[in-house]
Structure 1
Amino acid sequence: MARAEVREVVFRIRWRWVRLSAGVGAALGGLLLLWGYPQVQAVLVRSSSLRAEDVEATLARAPLLPSSTRAHLGVRYLYDPAIFDPPRALEHLRRAVRESPFDYRNWMHLGQGYEAVGDRARAEAAYRQAIAWAPEYFLPRWLYANFLLKHGERERALEAFARAARAHPEAAANIAELLQNEERVAQLARLVPEADVRARLCAFLLSRGALSAAVSLWRDLDWNEKAKLGLARIMIARGISTEHYALARALWCALGRRLSERAACSDDLVWNGGFELAPLREMVPALSLSTLGVSEEFAVPDRDFDWQIENEAGVMTRIAREEPYQGERALRIEFTRHENVRFSGVAQFVLLRPAATYEVCFAYKAEVRGDPRVVVEIVGARRGVPEENAVLFRWSLPREAGRAGWTLVREVFRTTPETSLALLRIRRVPADALADFVKGRLWFDAFSIHPIEDGVRPAEGEAL
């Protein structure tokens, strides 16, 4: 039997032809790119134009375009009144979902399409699928919650809004705005345990004047939450501005107990009358409503029940440790300018009862030359605005008060039937004469205001 011969086969690669083939391929690819780029650019431009038929024609010529182009066209058929056509929109949106089933945006738009044609069951299924593909995103949950709310399912809508707020706390104010109901906002807050969301809902209620509802939410916040102290200041200011004086005072007392062991609200209506405590506003940084998603147009002037102590031109005011009347500190006022000095930099709001009699006490020490013209006044302050024509009490520093030693002042005054909030203040008004001179310093301490029974007159002031 003859054996077949085995012949050696050798393949030789001619690199010249390889290089030529690669060059031809690169040239053809470049030409294709040069042709295709303007076409793609034209598609993108046309897809956002107002002529939907242009996009339809482009999709017919290039069916492999991204599904987002088809979804965009479907959304335009839903919301452009000039080409409103829900059935055609659904045609494009269904195909977009088939082409890209894992894109939550396609499912979200499909839900809008089914909602437009009245297919509630499929719309809900599409929204839920969009949430399933993007559980941490806000927009699918927002659209789904709106869908439920429009169809009267308020309880389920609140639960969906709560989950949306957890996913995106910054939108809490927008959700509350949509609910338009204090009770619903409170229900929403109970469904959301996150403190950040509750703080934002509290700020929203404050911006709408719902102080009592806001306080209820505020009480549920832990004191360790950063926003709680700042919200307390805002609520106190809101209470004063809206004549909820008792609630504002109760909030102030709660804030004081939290920040200082020695701070307590008692029968004495003057807060920190002996100047022993540091101002609480220095311990609580101001909180802006805008940081909680609420417009600053709803802000109110910053007011509370602490001493408002400010330096003014020609006058230096501070709390000092210089032989106080009692305790360790006293208020010191020094006139650094000696002519035409006007001053009203020490004041405090005091909550009083209408048509009631009170005893006001304080101690002073003066080292003053010239005409002091320093007065201690209590005036009505409805909504936190001093009423100059509603003076309840006025005491003037005697001209001969330039001697060492403390003097205790005890006087009685009576409020009017309209009085609820008053302003206790120390001020100086310059004389009308050309020669208005004052020099030196004075101290005040031990301010207190107590209710007394009618007909009981306290002892006169005494020198110590």
Structure 2
Amino acid sequence: MNSPLIILETSSFAARATIILTIVIAILFVWFGVRWQIGNLFAEITQVNQPDAREIAELAVGISPSDPFAIWLLASKERENFGTESFETSTRLIENIVRIAPNDFRWWIELGRAYEQTERPAEAERALLRAVELAPAYTFPRWQLGNFYLRQRRTDEAFAELIKTTEKSSVYREQVFALAWDYFGKDPSMVEKLAGDAPDIRSSLAMFYAVRGAAADALRNWNLLSEEQKAADPRLPRIMAQGLYDKLSFREALEFAKQAGIDPEASIGAVSNGGFEKFLGSPDDTLFGWNVYRGDARFEASVDSGVKREGARSLKVTFKGYIKPELHNVVQIIAVESGTDYRLTFWVRTENLRSGGPPILQVTNMNDGAILGATEPFANGTSDWEQKTIDFTVPADCTGISIRTARTFCGGECPIAGTFWYDDFALSRR
């Protein structure tokens, strides 16, 4: 009678013990899991440069001693002390991260950096090579390895890795070019060793040079592409034309503008649309054509087919009580040869022109706005077509000039009324 009772109580105790043990294990599992997550969260949301980053790092490591991010944050703060002992401590912490997460290439890169900082280049190289081995399709490990080789003055090995970087990633391509540009003293031959011949890389290199004002190198690389390859992204020549124009590299800007279809008929040392046979568009549509700025209702300028000296049209300019001392409303930028003597000729006619400060035409240096030459004031009253001539010399450092309509000064407010016409502009060498 008693045996069944004893057996039943023992069985009930075992069941309860199993349940309790299961609950304890579950609680411990949840606790350790929550601890890891809390430590990881603290580490991931904390910036290294936060004032309290070190305290948070120590707390995160205390809560989650096996979390790589928590340890990395502590190692980063330790490294900021800039002492040999601090660097060694930081390196040991990162070595621990690699033991915890041996298959994460990011920690091998961090270890390579740490070894390099502690002047252990052989170990640094092994760590960075391991990162490349773990992530052969990723660009970042090769970028880091190439930089390491360059700092170690192992140029050939650096180039081997960096070339692969430019081939795989357009994002890192710009950084590779910039690294070589700065490291080798802006030597384009060294930059181009990293470029390869792929069309997208070549166009990226042309853009790289254009941004830095290396106009001749930008145009040279761009012209290595076929017409079909150039047409792959029609925005590029427009961007480079504008960029070089803004950097005062007018000859190369003109070539890009022509290829982009902005100013297809413009040429070096020539006035574009000098007879106004083509209608004038918006100033936003041209770099090397006529720009007519119509911001004042008392000034009008338009192509006129009723009055012309030759051809079918001229440019008619009318003032209706315009009073500003500055004019500069009719302008053309021309790419020119440096250090060259030029002669500008054009024809002008007036009708009922009245002002103490009549119009003139000036040639200016686009580098600094200096006036290279100017006409006498246009005749007041009414006059028939008269040819005007300006002889000038382009400075040695200048590749662009402007021809612009201006006024002789006659005070802060100087009314002008009446009309004049332009026709048959021509620029020639003397």
Same topology, TM > 0.5? yes
Deviation at 1:254, TM superposition (A): 6.0
Deviation at 1:227, TM superposition (A): 1.5
Query: 1:249 maps to which residue?
Result: 251
SS of match in other structure, 1:443: strand
Deviation at 1:250, TM superposition (A): 5.6
Query: 1:10 maps to which residue?
Result: none
Q: How many residues align?
A: 396
Matched, 1:334 2:318: yes
> Which amino acid is the alignment partner of residue 224 of structure 2?
D
SS of match in other structure, 1:383: coil
Matched, 1:425 2:404: yes
SS of match in other structure, 2:375: strand
Deviations 1:28-52 (A, max 9, x none): 8568747864675367658975369
Structure 1 pair 36–274 and aligned structure 2 pair: CA distance change class (3 A): same
Mapped to 2, the partners of 1:86 and 1:262 lie a distance apart of 61
Deviation at 1:446, TM superposition (A): 1.8
Q: Does 119-128 or 79-88 show the bigger shift?
A: 79-88
> Which amino acid is the alignment partner of residue 415 of structure 1?
F
Deviations 1:260-300 (A, max 9, x none): 7971537x63222123456697457xxxxxxxxxxxxxxxx
SS of match in other structure, 1:348: strand
Q: TM-score, normalised by structure 1?
A: 0.66
> Which amino acid is the alignment partner of residue 110 of structure 2?
H
Mapped to 2, the partners of 1:262 and 1:36 lie a distance apart of 68
Matched, 1:400 2:382: yes
Deviation at 1:152, TM superposition (A): 0.6
SS of match in other structure, 1:269: coil
Query: 1:449 maps to which residue?
Result: 427
Mapped to 1, the partners of 2:109 and 2:92 lie a distance apart of 15
Deviation at 1:393, TM superposition (A): 2.9
Query: 2:391 maps to which residue?
Result: 414
Query: 1:383 maps to which residue?
Result: 367
Deviation at 1:158, TM superposition (A): 2.9
Which of 318, 343, 347 aligns to 1:358? It is 343
Query: 2:292 maps to which residue?
Result: 309
For structure 1, which runs of at least 5 residues remain unmatched after alignment?
1-17, 241-247, 285-303, 402-406, 453-464
Mapped to 2, the partners of 1:253 and 1:143 lie a distance apart of 38
After the TM superposition, which residues 54-93 of structure 1 pair with which residues of structure 2 at under 5 Å, given as runs? 54=58, 58=62, 65-74=66-75, 78=79, 80-81=81-82, 84-85=85-86, 88-93=89-94
Deviations 1:91-137 (A, max 9, x none): 44444334323211122123224434544344223213323433454
Q: Does 191-200 or 42-51 show the bigger shift?
A: 42-51
Deviations 1:192-234 (A, max 9, x none): 3455655555455455554433443343355323312321232
Query: 2:159 maps to which residue?
Result: 158
Mapped to 2, the partners of 1:434 and 1:107 lie a distance apart of 72
Query: 1:111 maps to which residue?
Result: 112
> Which amino acid is the alignment partner of residue 438 of structure 1?
A
Deviation at 1:443, TM superposition (A): 3.2
Mapped to 2, the partners of 1:130 and 1:436 lie a distance apart of 75
Deviation at 1:431, TM superposition (A): 4.8
Query: 1:220 maps to which residue?
Result: 224
Deviations 1:368-394 (A, max 9, x none): 46449543423342615143xx54433
Structure 1 pair 169–53 and aligned structure 2 pair: CA distance change class (3 A): closer
SS of match in other structure, 2:271: coil
SS of match in other structure, 1:394: coil
Structure 1 pair 322–256 and aligned structure 2 pair: CA distance change class (3 A): farther
Mapped to 2, the partners of 1:249 and 1:183 lie a distance apart of 21
**C-alpha contact 2:276 2:314 (8 A) present in aligned 1:** yes
SS of match in other structure, 1:220: coil
Mapped to 1, the partners of 2:283 and 2:224 lie a distance apart of 22
Mapped to 1, the partners of 2:414 and 2:86 lie a distance apart of 85
Structure 1 pair 263–171 and aligned structure 2 pair: CA distance change class (3 A): same
Structure 1 pair 377–443 and aligned structure 2 pair: CA distance change class (3 A): closer
Matched, 1:438 2:417: yes
For structure 2, which runs of at least 5 residues remain unmatched after alignment?
1-14, 47-52
> Which amino acid is the alignment partner of residue 445 of structure 1?
D
Deviation at 1:74, TM superposition (A): 4.8
Taking every aligned residue pair, what percent have the same amino acid on both sides?
A: 17
> Which amino acid is the alignment partner of residue 104 of structure 2?
D
Structure 1 pair 82–135 and aligned structure 2 pair: CA distance change class (3 A): same
Mapped to 2, the partners of 1:368 and 1:236 lie a distance apart of 38
Q: Does 143-152 or 72-81 show the bigger shift?
A: 72-81
Mapped to 2, the partners of 1:434 and 1:163 lie a distance apart of 65
> Which amino acid is the alignment partner of residue 229 of structure 1?
R
Query: 1:188 maps to which residue?
Result: 191
Mapped to 2, the partners of 1:435 and 1:261 lie a distance apart of 36
Mapped to 2, the partners of 1:451 and 1:443 lie a distance apart of 25
Deviation at 1:346, TM superposition (A): 0.7
Deviation at 1:310, TM superposition (A): 0.8
Deviation at 1:252, TM superposition (A): 1.5
Deviation at 1:327, TM superposition (A): 4.3
Structure 1 pair 232–437 and aligned structure 2 pair: CA distance change class (3 A): closer
Structure 1 pair 258–414 and aligned structure 2 pair: CA distance change class (3 A): same
Query: 2:49 maps to which residue?
Result: none
